[in-house]
């Protein structure tokens, strides 16, 4: 965190100054480790073994926060009899070896179908979907699943029933003993126990523990399950919905949270409303009908969606035309970034916008990325610098090797300079869902323009060209509300008007104050329901800057947090079942009997007047179906899920699988790697075999403080380039001796994809690990470099193959294998032969760009 | 600075404690309080924001002399700017400190966690003499450096980071020796080069006991930290302190910083961080105390700082005396050469 | 433990000595710690050969001016002429080198903005400026034959200032943080003064007639002898800091200097009466003087670049201070050891 998020790390240091213990669990000794109370080195890709070990410790030692667990989780509910645990084999019931996918029906609770509040959407195969129609309806849409009214599952509040979630969980993790964790992760038993003791002693009524992670957890074939494992641990320890608790995702760069809320993701509409599927959602009614009966706050999705459609298409969205629901694009499959690139190479996709993105350097398997871009008709690159993704056609690595020839590349590349964050106004949404308005400090130079300017005027131009068209396919564009006020000589759209549109209006044109005002009848509009309230009273709430010293410690008047300016989600859980704070020290939100309402330091994330004693009447829907103790209000059943009967493509409980490219066998289960993972089996995406002697070393990619992601914002600047001037790899002295690597000399790193070269930094911060009987070396590779800019080097991501998590289609880029040899890599066509010789030696099929 | 000021400056003391260097330099009694930096390296995360903020604000060019020199790794951990100089006014040092497992001092482990790795008994034979550290570069070949006696995975590593800066000495060698008056003592007690006066004589360069100031080849002038003199005048804190995310760089009135530093040292010592020490805090030291002082977690020389700096002009009166006597002697010898033995 | 071997220092920093000094840094046997073996203080950025030549010329000029004035008083016309020309040439040449050494030579006159006793360079400027004026004026009268009376007065004035010009440069060097220079602040004035005597005397030997050259020979011999003696003492007193004189280019320069001085002094002693041997001896003495300046300069650069020169003596200083104040309470921030 100190490495990639130094500014946010000030709060960790602040907590440390106030007595917090900081533990850093990371394969490398980083700047974070340097100031942590304890650094625990371990093997990349072994996190679920580690977290599972902690869960096992909590359950076997009885360290869970029992009152919290019984009040707010599904621990007491019984899992259906059909469920078979992964056990020794490592595969759950419902796995289809032919398709490589799970049918999760056997994971369901006893006597109830439960639906995910988010998560896996596409994991029902069409045939399964039909088969389980009784249970599920809007499966492709996912979120609609909460629509299904659950009858309460069987429960055992003593937590003794062998099929109750608590016992199922305990059995599942029984194999994750401290000794097993030590063997799998390469950390000492004492080290593991020190962490286990530290976090359990620091959780409970009086204390809370927070976990912070970033892409070291998500960039894996089991990335979603990493987070699930942390969720289970934190829920068992009662660290969710309470001050000082939680699981905090550090996003890759500023406002990635914002681009998830108002998404650049293919399968979501703003506010986590699912994108409709081409075949399942012929019309609005079938999309919403999928929500046959609704419990929890997702029950109001109709109001959120109709308001969104009204915001986009205004008067053109009428009850008669389904509020223009047909104008929405539809999903036809996996359109995730790697799927798109595969389609580019297959000549199924012909145009590409790259906006502040440099896939030629920043994405896994750079060759695949460049090959995709070389097969386009047109490519628009909006960036501040001439990045590699805009120049690959003349100086990319494939040009050097002769795999591509400039004259054969038909892609027309449009490079457009863009404004940076100090050159335009708008919001950043940080990982705490906090929207902070920033103002333009300087005008963008030359022809550089903001993204808002670009898209607004692009839209205007397209609409001008389409004006008068009678083709129905042009209606969505022509009917858009595209009327933002502009200012200045460049006709810059007013970003506040966009924020106001996102906030939404009522029928009279007043700014909405809360998403609870949204209606499904078309009388309200709002571009993102969770952001409603950010323009309450016509005031840009995100622009509030009351200093911390002039307000309470929760600081509600700094910026604005979605939803409804709540700073901690699910904060009902900060009070016990009766609504009393768990402790004075950790009091946050509580039930005030006198006033008959919830109150506290934060805005309660609960209906203000729903008493803790409230129990839903039979047949209640939406929020009325949640009881006064159902703190997790976005869940259909209001509970935190220790066991996830649905929503995940690769099992109801996180299970340790080795990375696809791992030097060791899975010591916990027979199944080596995630059986449900997604592959791209092409010559340009060969994988290193597991336990390969040809590719014996683990490498991991990461960022340095001095550079920013793929380098577009740092490698071109002298002040930053001089701080980390060259691409390097970090190796331990032992590995340096083993491979004759010289400090500051060159090394060549080889995978089944390609070979790259890097300067060598020999450092004691890299430690060899003992895994079972093996000694495992890990190599660190910062991934910032490419061929352009002041500081240049080979892209580390070229070394990676693409193999993905089945839930979110994210690549496994934080761990893979390679070989390392002293000296520089071959140049030109010799490089191809060099890499091919390694593939031959490893028994990998021939690679190439065909 | 007028000639008169210079003369009055000449009367200033050359060493020892000096409560008010600004007044000593001729500023009137209404001058502001002396300000400075307290750099607490125990909370430095090595982000180098100070280096960049300093360069941005002060328009300091990239370091190095040409591109081939600029963008090359030094191999000194994550430090690629090397040292303070004409174009690096803040410099973050990175020290990878390696010790056999279990012998690490408590540097960053104060919070009562159980001592780890108890299974490995501390081997006195393998412990380095005087608890010393190993330079990473020295470790590379089997040089017999002490760390080699324990296997890789049984050595602990500590990573020290420290943002160095001009010390703004109470008795500043650079200022004393400057022949043009380009260097002067500001009303804030800091030491600043006036670039429009400096003629690049370079005398300040070897006169700094800390190796801070240097002449920039591109413009021939001597440059160093100004403690953001221009910002101070506007009531702003220096750019580096402003940018520091963890408050490792603290700016303020020197007396308050000294009190804060004493408290921090006591706190760390109370937590068992015995190796914590203040550097440059003592007004009795060889430079009369620093305007920018530090909390270090190891000996100063490990960070590239002199362990016991003394302002060179402390000995200047004696030097002048010696030179004058020698000059007399030379003159006398030359005269005597005409008389000894008489004329032939 | 020993510090990093500088041979393994990154290339970027290897041989980064200033002023064209390229020799490798050396680490003494003593054990000490440092930051990657890097220098702690900055080596002088003074140019080579500008500054050593300036020191040499200043010394030559300073002693020549006294010889000239005395020769005038004692009626040694060729020595007077040689001394006056030597003083002027040395002053003017020295000024040229001094100005050239500036990184912003056009601002040479900024030196005259202030007079700062704490700055030997300021004091030196105020010595050099009148000296150069007097010496140049004297030489002008000598060459042209005009205003001889005035020339005699300015010649005396120059002679009064001259010895200071010859010795202040020792303060210039020793009033730095360069350990080998600073710690020699009791020796350097004598070394530079005697070196000046050797140079000025040598110049007189070269350019005056055999009839007039005896005082020059005496001064040169005395200078050379003193220089050789004080150099020995300096190196002994410097202890470990003297190692920079025992290796690299400084060693070569100092050895050559000694050879020249011994040869020149012997030559002056026995060969003063022959024009050619007197001239050769004078040249050798001047060379010896110049080589000393180059040697001291190089030794200083090497000293500044050697972290051991900073750390080891300062550590020893702390140790001694603590030993002497054993009973006194140690200030909290000085618990170094």
Structural contact between residues A768 and A777, judged by C-beta atoms closer than 8 angstroms: yes
At residue B103 the predicted structure's pLDDT band, cuts being 50, 70 and 90, is low
B-facing residues of C in 15-34 (CB < 8 A) are 32-34
Instruction: Examine residue A682 and state whether it is found in any structural domain, yes or no.
Output: yes
What is each CA distance from A391 to A361, A608, A721, A788, in whole angstroms? Answer: 12, 56, 20, 9
pLDDT at position C18: 34
CB contact under 8 A, B326 and C104: no
Q: What is the pLDDT of residue C9?
A: 37
In terms of Cβ atoms closer than 10 Å to its own Cβ (0-12, 13-18, 19+), residue A732 is buried
Strand bridging mode B35-40 / B249-253 = antiparallel
Task: Output the 3-class SS for A641-708.
Answer: CCCCCCCCCCCCCCCCCECCCCCCCCCCCCCCECCCCEECCCHHHCCCCCCCCCCCEEEEEECCCCCC
Condensed to tens digits (0 to 9), the pLDDT of residues C183-240 reads: 999 999 999 999 999 999 999 999 999 999 999 999 999 999 999 999 999 999 999 9
> Cα A255–A257–A258 angle (5° rounding)?
65
Whether residue C25 lies inside any domain: the answer is no
Q: Average pLDDT, stretch C288-307?
A: 97
Spell out where A81-148 has E strands. Answer: 95-96, 101-102
Please say if the pLDDT value at position A124 is more than 60.
Answer: no
Asked if the model's pLDDT at residue A140 lies above 50, the reply is no
Q: Give the contacts of A488 (CB within 8 A, at least 6 positions apart).
A: none
Mean pLDDT of chain B: 83
At residue A825, φ and ψ (nearest 5 deg) are: -80, 160
Q: Domain boundary residue among A631, A664, A698?
A: A631
Paired residues of A728 in beta bridges? A759
| Distance from C-alpha of B247 to C-alpha of B43, rounded to nearest angstrom | 8
pLDDT interval class at B69 (50, 70, 90): low
pLDDT range class, residue B98, cuts 50, 70, 90: confident
CATH number at C90 reads 1.20.1630.10
Domain with C287 in it: 50-307
pLDDT attached to residue C21 = 37
User: Would you call C177 and B134 a contact, using CB atoms and an 8 Å cutoff?
Assistant: no
Whether residue A791 sits in one domain with residue A721: yes
Q: What's chain A's length in residues?
A: 850
**Strand blocks (E) in A683-815:** 697-702, 728-731, 746-750, 755-762, 769-771, 774-776, 778-782, 803-804
Count the domains in chain C. 1
Query: What is chain A's mean pLDDT, rounded?
Result: 92
pLDDT of A49 above 60: yes
Ranking A565-574, A660-669, C20-29 by mean pLDDT, the lowest is C20-29
The answer as to whether A753 is a domain residue is: yes
- Residues A101-129 as b/e (b if ≥16 CB within 10 A, e otherwise) read bbbbbbbbbbebbbbbbbbbbbbbeeebb
A42 CB-near residues (< 8 Å, 6+ apart): A25, A26, A27, A50, A185, A186, A187, A769
Nearest to C70 among B7, B265, B335 (CB): B335
Nearest-by-Cβ selection for A764 from B61, B136, B245 = B136
* Contact assessment for residue A704 and residue A724, using Cβ atoms and an 8 Å cutoff: yes
Same domain, A688 and A804: yes
- Tell me what the mean pLDDT of segment A33-58 comes to: 96
Could you report how far apart the first and last alpha carbons of chain B are, in Å?
Answer: 57
Count: domains in chain A: 2
How does pLDDT run across C82-94, given as a tens digit for each residue?
999 999 999 999 9
Q: What is the ipTM of this complex?
A: 0.92
pLDDT at A772: 80
Q: Give the pLDDT of residue B68.
A: 58
C333 vs A257: CA distance, rounded Å: 47
Least confident of A590-599, B64-73, C114-123, C205-214: B64-73
Where in chain B does DSSP place strands (E)?
A: 35-40, 90-100, 155-165, 183-185, 191-193, 214-215, 222-223, 249-253, 277-279, 292-296
C-alpha angle A32/A36/A42, rounded to 5°?
Answer: 75
> Which of A718, A724, A704 shows the shortest CA–CA distance to A385?
A718
Tell me the pLDDT tens digit for each residue of C64-83: 999 999 999 999 999 999 99
C319 touching B, CB under 8 A? no
* B207 neighbors C300 (Cβ within 8 angstroms): no
Contact A558, A548 (CB under 8 A): yes
- pLDDT at residue B133, as a whole number: 36
Say yes or no to pLDDT of B324 above 90.
yes
SS3 A234: helix
C13: in domain: no
Tell me how far apart the alpha carbons of residues A788 and A714 are, in angstroms, rounded to a whole number. 11
At residue B150, does pLDDT exceed 90? no
Mean of pLDDT values over A569-574: 96
Does residue C2 fall inside a structural domain? no
User: What's the whole-number mean pLDDT along residues A831-837?
Assistant: 97
CA separation, residue A562 to residues A264, A528, A575, A847, C184 (Å): 18, 10, 21, 48, 71
Between residues B12 and A832, which one has the greater pLDDT? A832
| pLDDT attached to residue B140 | 36
Q: Which domain holds residue A831?
A: 678-842
Inter-chain residue contact C115 with B7, CB threshold 8 Å: yes
Confidence of residue B131 (pLDDT cuts 50, 70, 90): very low
Q: How confident is the model at residue B67 (pLDDT cuts 50, 70, 90)?
A: low
Residue B85 contacts A where some CB pair is shorter than 8 Å: no
Element (H, E) at A380: strand A378-383
At A93 the pLDDT is 95
pLDDT of residue C7: 36
Q: How confident is the model at residue B328 (pLDDT cuts 50, 70, 90)?
A: very high
* Residue A208: per-residue pLDDT: 97
At residue B118, the pLDDT reads 30
Q: Rounded to 5, what percent of chain A is helix, strand, coil?
A: 30, 15, 55
Residues A834 and A708 occupy one common structural domain: yes
For residue C278, being part of any structural domain is answered with yes
Record: contact A761-B161, CB cut-off 8 A: no
**For C180, nearest residue in chain B (alpha carbons):** B206
What chain B holds in terms of domains, given with CATH numbers, is: 31-65+84-95+164-314 (3.30.70.20)
Tell me which residue of B167, B164, B179 sits closest to B288, measured CA to CA: B167
Q: Is the pLDDT of residue A103 over 70?
A: yes
pLDDT at A790: 92
- CA–CA separation, B47 and A337 (whole Å): 32
Element (H, E) at A309: helix A301-313
Answer yes or no: is pLDDT of B203 > 90.
yes
* pLDDT(A325) > 80: yes
A19, A178, A715, A719, best to mutate vs chain B, most B CBs in 10 Å: A719
For the ranges A71-80, C185-194, C320-329, the lowest mean pLDDT is seen at C320-329
A116 pLDDT more than 90: no
Span A159-207, pLDDT tens digits: 999 999 999 999 999 999 999 999 999 999 999 999 999 999 999 999 9
Distance CA A435, CA A140 (A): 30
Residue B156's beta-bridge partner residues?
Answer: B99
Is the pLDDT at B116 greater than 90? The verdict is no
**Residue A661 C-alpha from the chain's centroid:** 22
Q: Is residue A714 part of a domain?
A: yes
CB atoms within 10 A of CB A483: 12
With beta carbons under 8 A apart, name residues in chain C contacting B329.
Answer: 163, 190, 193
Does A20 reside within a domain? no
CB atoms A33 and B159 under 8 Å: yes
User: Which chains form contacts with chain C, at 3 or more CB pairs under 8 Å?
Assistant: B
Name the residue among A69, A36, A256 with its Cα closest to residue A164: A69
Interface test with B, best of A35, A717, A765 (most B CBs within 10 A): A35
Please indicate, yes or no, if residue C112 is contained in any of the structural domains: yes
Q: What is the pLDDT of residue A118?
A: 59
pLDDT digits over B209-266, tens only? Answer: 999 999 998 999 999 999 999 999 999 999 999 999 999 999 999 999 999 999 999 9
Helix (H, G, I), strand (E, B) or coil at B261: helix
Per-residue pLDDT at A646: 87
Contacts of residue C25, defined as CB under 8 A and 6 or more positions apart, other chains included, come to: C6, C9, C14, C15, C17, C37, C39, C302, C305, C306
Mean pLDDT of A742-750: 97
Residue A273 in any domain: the answer is no
Q: Hey, of A741, A763, A788, which one would you mutate to test binding to chain B, going by the most B CBs within 10 A of its CB?
A: A763
Would A790 be classed as within a structural domain?
yes
SS3 A59: helix
Buried b or exposed e, range B325-341, using 16+ CB within 10 angstroms: ebbebbbebbbebbeee
B 111-130 residues with CB < 8 A to C: 128-129
Averaged pLDDT for residues A699-716: 94
Report if residue A433 sits inside a domain: no
Structure tokens given for B179: 């022949």
User: Which pLDDT score is estimated for B340?
Assistant: 65
Q: Which of A217-231, A630-644, A662-676, A686-700 has the lowest mean pLDDT?
A: A630-644
| Average pLDDT estimate for A348-375 | 96
The Cα B204–Cα B175 span in angstroms is 7
- The answer to whether residue C334 sits within a structural domain is no
- The mean pLDDT of A245-269, rounded to a whole number, is 91
SS (H, E, C) chain C: CCCCCHHHCCHHHCCCCCCCCCCCCCCCCCCCCCCCCCCCCCCCCCCCCHHHHHHHHHHHHHHHHHHHHHHHHHCCHHHHHHHHHHHHHHHHHHHHHHHHHCCCHHHHHHHHCCCCCCCHHHHHHHHHHHHHHHHHHHHHHHHHCCCHHHHHHHHHHHHHHHHHHHHHHHHHHHCCCCHHHHCCCCCHHHHHHHHHHHHHHHHHHHHCCCCCCHHHHHHHHHHHHHHHHHHHHHHHHHHHHHHHHHCHHHHHHHHHHHHHHHHHHHHHHHHCCCHHHHHHHHHHHHHHHHHHHHHHHHHHHHHHCCHHHHHHHHHHHHHHHHHHCCCCCCCHHHCCC
Q: Quick one: average pLDDT of A745-759? A: 97
Is residue A734 assigned to a domain?
yes
B158 upstream amide cis, omega within 30 of 0: no
Check residue B64 and give its pLDDT: 59
Tokens 């950025």 -> residue:
C45
Instruction: Copy the structure tokens of residue C216.
Output: 């020059």
Q: What is the CATH number of the domain that holds A746?
A: 2.40.40.20
Could you give the CA distance from residue A351 to residue A328 in angstroms, rounded to a whole number?
20
Proportion of chain A above pLDDT 90, given as a percent: 85
pLDDT, one tens digit per residue, over C252-278 is 999 999 999 999 999 999 999 999 999
- Is C24 inside any structural domain? no
Q: Is B154 on the interface with A (CB under 8 A)?
A: no
Per-residue pLDDT for C162 more than 50? yes
C258 lies in some domain: yes
């Amino acid at each position: 965190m100190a490495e990639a998020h130094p500014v946010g790390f000030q709060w960790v240091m602040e907590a440390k100054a106030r007595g917090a213990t900081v533990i850093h669990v990371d394969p490398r000794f980083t700047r974070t480790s340097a100031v942590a109370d304890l650094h625990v080195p371990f093997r990349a890709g072994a996190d679920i073994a580690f977290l599972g070990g902690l869960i096992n410790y909590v359950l076997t030692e009885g360290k869970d926060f029992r009152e919290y667990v019984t009040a707010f989780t599904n621990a007491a509910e019984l899992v259906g009899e059909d469920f078979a645990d992964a056990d020794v084999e490592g595969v759950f019931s419902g796995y289809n070896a032919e398709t490589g996918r799970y049918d999760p029906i056997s994971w369901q609770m006893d006597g109830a179908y439960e639906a995910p509040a988010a998560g896996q959407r596409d994991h029902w195969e069409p045939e399964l979907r039909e088969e389980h129609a009784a249970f599920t309806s809007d499966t492709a849409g996912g979120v609609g699943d909460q629509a299904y009214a659950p009858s309460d599952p069987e429960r055992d509040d003593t937590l003794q029933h062998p099929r109750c979630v608590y016992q199922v969980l305990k059995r599942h993790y029984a194999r994750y003993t401290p000794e097993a964790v030590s063997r799998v992760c390469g950390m000492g038993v004492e080290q593991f126990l020190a962490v286990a003791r530290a976090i359990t002693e620091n959780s409970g009524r009086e204390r809370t523990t927070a976990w912070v992670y970033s892409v070291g957890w998500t960039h894996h074939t089991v990335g979603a399950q990493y987070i699930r494992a942390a969720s289970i641990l934190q829920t068992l320890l009662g660290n969710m919905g309470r001050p000082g608790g939680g699981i905090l995702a550090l996003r890759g760069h500023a406002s990635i949270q914002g681009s998830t809320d108002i998404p650049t993701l293919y399968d979501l509409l703003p506010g986590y409303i699912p994108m409709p599927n081409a075949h399942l959602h012929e019309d609005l009614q079938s999309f919403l009908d999928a929500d046959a009966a609704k419990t929890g706050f997702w029950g109001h999705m109709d109001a959120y969606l109709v308001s969104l459609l009204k915001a986009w298409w205004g008067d053109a969205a009428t009850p008669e035309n389904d509020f223009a629901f047909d104008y929405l694009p539809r999903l036809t499959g996996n359109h995730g970034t790697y799927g798109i690139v595969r389609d580019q190479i297959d000549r199924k996709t012909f145009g590409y916008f790259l906006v502040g993105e440099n896939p030629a350097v920043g994405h896994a398997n750079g060759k695949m990325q460049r090959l995709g871009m070389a097969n386009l008709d047109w490519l628009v690159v909006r960036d501040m610098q001439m990045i590699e993704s805009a120049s690959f056609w003349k100086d990319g690595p494939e040009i050097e090797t002769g795999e591509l020839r400039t004259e054969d590349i038909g892609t027309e590349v449009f490079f457009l300079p863009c404004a940076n964050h100090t050159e335009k106004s708008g919001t950043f949404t940080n990982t705490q869902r906090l929207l902070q308005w920033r103002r333009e400090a300087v005008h963008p130079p030359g022809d550089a323009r903001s993204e808002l300017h670009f898209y607004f005027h692009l839209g205007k131009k397209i609409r001008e060209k389409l004006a008068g068209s009678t083709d129905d396919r042009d209606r969505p564009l022509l009917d858009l509300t595209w009327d933002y006020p502009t200012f200045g000589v460049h006709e810059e759209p007013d970003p506040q008007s966009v924020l106001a549109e996102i906030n939404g209006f009522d029928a009279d044109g007043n700014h909405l104050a809360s998403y609870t005002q949204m209606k499904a009848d078309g009388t309200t509009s709002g571009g993102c329901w969770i952001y409603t309230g950010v323009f309450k009273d016509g005031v840009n709430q995100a622009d509030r800057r009351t200093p911390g010293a002039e307000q309470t410690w929760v600081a509600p008047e700094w910026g604005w947090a979605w939803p409804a300016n709540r700073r901690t989600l699910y904060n009902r859980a900060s009070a016990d079942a009766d609504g009393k704070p768990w402790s004075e020290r950790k009091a946050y939100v509580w039930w005030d009997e006198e006033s008959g309402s919830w109150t506290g330091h934060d805005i309660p994330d609960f209906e203000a007047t729903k008493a803790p004693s409230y129990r839903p009447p039979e047949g209640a829907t939406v929020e009325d179906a949640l009881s006064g103790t159902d703190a997790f209000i976005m869940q259909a059943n209001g509970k935190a899920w220790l066991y996830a009967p649905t929503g995940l493509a690769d099992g109801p409980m996180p299970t340790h699988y080795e990375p696809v490219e791992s030097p060791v066998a899975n010591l916990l289960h027979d199944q080596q790697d995630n059986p449900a993972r997604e592959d791209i089996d092409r010559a340009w995406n060969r994988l290193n075999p597991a336990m390969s002697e040809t590719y014996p070393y683990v490498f991991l990619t990461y960022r340095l403080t001095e550079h920013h992601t793929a380098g577009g914002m740092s490698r071109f600047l002298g002040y930053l380039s001089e701080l980390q001037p060259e691409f390097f790899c970090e190796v331990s002295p032992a590995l340096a001796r083993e491979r004759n690597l010289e400090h500051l000399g060159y090394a060549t790193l080889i995978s089944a994809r390609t070979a790259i070269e890097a300067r060598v930094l020999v450092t004691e911060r890299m430690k060899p690990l003992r895994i079972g009987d093996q000694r495992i070396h890990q190599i660190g590779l910062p991934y910032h470099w490419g061929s352009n800019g002041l500081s240049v080097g080979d892209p580390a991501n070229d070394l990676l193959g693409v193999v993905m998590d089945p839930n979110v289609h994210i690549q496994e880029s934080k761990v893979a294998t390679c070989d390392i040899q002293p000296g520089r890599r071959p140049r030109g066509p010799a490089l191809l032969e060099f890499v091919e010789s390694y593939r031959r030696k490893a028994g990998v099929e021939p690679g190439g760009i065909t | 600075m007028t000639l008169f000021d210079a003369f009055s400056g000449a009367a200033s003391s050359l060493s020892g404690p000096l409560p008010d260097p600004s007044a000593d330099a001729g500023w009137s009694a209404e001058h502001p309080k002396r300000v400075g930096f307290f750099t607490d390296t125990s909370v430095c995360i090595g982000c180098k924001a100070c280096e960049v903020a300093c360069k941005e604000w002060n328009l300091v060019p990239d370091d190095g002399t040409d591109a081939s020199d600029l963008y090359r790794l030094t191999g000194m951990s994550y430090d690629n700017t090397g040292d303070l100089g004409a174009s690096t006014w803040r410099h973050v040092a990175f020290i990878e400190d390696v010790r056999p497992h279990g012998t690490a001092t408590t540097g960053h482990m104060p919070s009562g966690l159980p001592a780890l790795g108890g299974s490995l008994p501390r081997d006195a034979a393998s412990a380095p003499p005087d608890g010393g550290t190993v330079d990473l570069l020295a470790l590379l070949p089997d040089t017999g450096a002490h760390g080699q006696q324990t296997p890789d995975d049984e050595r602990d590593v500590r990573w020290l980071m420290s943002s160095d800066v001009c010390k703004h000495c109470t008795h500043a060698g650079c200022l004393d020796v400057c022949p043009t008056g380009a260097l002067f003592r500001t009303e804030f007690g800091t030491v600043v080069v006036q670039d429009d006066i400096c003629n690049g004589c370079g005398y300040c360069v070897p006169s700094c006991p800390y190796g801070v100031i240097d002449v920039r080849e591109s413009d021939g002038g001597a440059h160093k930290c100004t403690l953001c003199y221009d910002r101070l005048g506007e009531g702003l804190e220096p750019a580096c302190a402003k940018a520091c995310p963890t408050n490792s760089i603290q700016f303020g009135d020197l007396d308050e910083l000294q009190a804060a530093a004493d408290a921090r040292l006591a706190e760390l010592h109370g937590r068992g961080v015995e190796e914590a020490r203040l550097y440059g805090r003592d007004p009795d030291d060889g430079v009369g105390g620093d305007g920018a002082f530090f909390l270090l977690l190891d000996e100063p020389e490990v960070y590239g700082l002199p362990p016991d700096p003394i302002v060179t002009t402390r000995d200047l009166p004696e030097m002048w005396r010696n030179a004058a006597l020698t000059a007399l002697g030379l003159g006398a010898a030359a005269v005597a050469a005409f008389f000894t033995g008489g004329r032939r | 433990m020993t510090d990093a071997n500088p041979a393994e220092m990154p290339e970027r920093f290897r041989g980064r000595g200033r002023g064209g000094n390229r020799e490798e840094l050396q680490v003494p046997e003593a054990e000490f710690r440092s930051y990657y073996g890097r220098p702690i203080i900055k080596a002088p950025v003074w140019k080579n050969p500008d500054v050593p030549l300036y020191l040499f010329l200043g010394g030559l000029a300073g002693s020549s001016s006294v010889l000239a004035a005395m020769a005038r008083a004692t009626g040694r016309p060729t020595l007077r002429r040689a001394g006056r020309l030597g003083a002027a040439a040395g002053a003017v040449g020295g000024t040229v080198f001094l100005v050239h050494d500036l990184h912003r030579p056009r601002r040479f006159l900024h030196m005259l903005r202030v007079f700062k006793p704490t700055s030997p360079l300021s004091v030196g400027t105020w010595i050099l400026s009148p000296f150069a004026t007097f010496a140049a004026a004297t030489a002008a009268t000598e060459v042209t034959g005009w205003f001889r009376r005035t020339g005699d007065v300015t010649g005396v004035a120059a002679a009064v200032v001259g010895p200071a010009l010859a010795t202040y440069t020792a303060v210039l060097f020793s009033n730095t943080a360069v350990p080998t220079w600073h710690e020699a602040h009791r020796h350097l004035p004598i070394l530079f003064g005697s070196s000046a005597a050797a140079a000025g005397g040598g110049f007189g030997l070269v350019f005056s007639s055999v009839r007039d050259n005896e005082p020059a020979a005496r001064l040169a011999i005395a200078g050379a002898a003193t220089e050789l003696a004080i150099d020995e003492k300096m190196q002994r007193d410097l202890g470990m800091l003297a190692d920079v004189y025992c290796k690299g280019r400084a060693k070569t320069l100092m050895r050559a200097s000694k050879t020249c001085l011994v040869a020149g002094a012997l030559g002056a002693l026995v060969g003063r009466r022959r024009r050619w041997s007197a001239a050769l001896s004078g040249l050798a003495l001047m060379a010896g003087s110049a080589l000393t300046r180059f040697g001291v300069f190089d030794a200083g650069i090497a000293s500044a670049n050697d972290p051991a020169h900073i750390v080891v003596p300062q550590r020893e200083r702390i140790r001694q201070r603590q030993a002497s104040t054993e009973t006194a309470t140690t200030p909290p921030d000085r618990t170094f050891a």
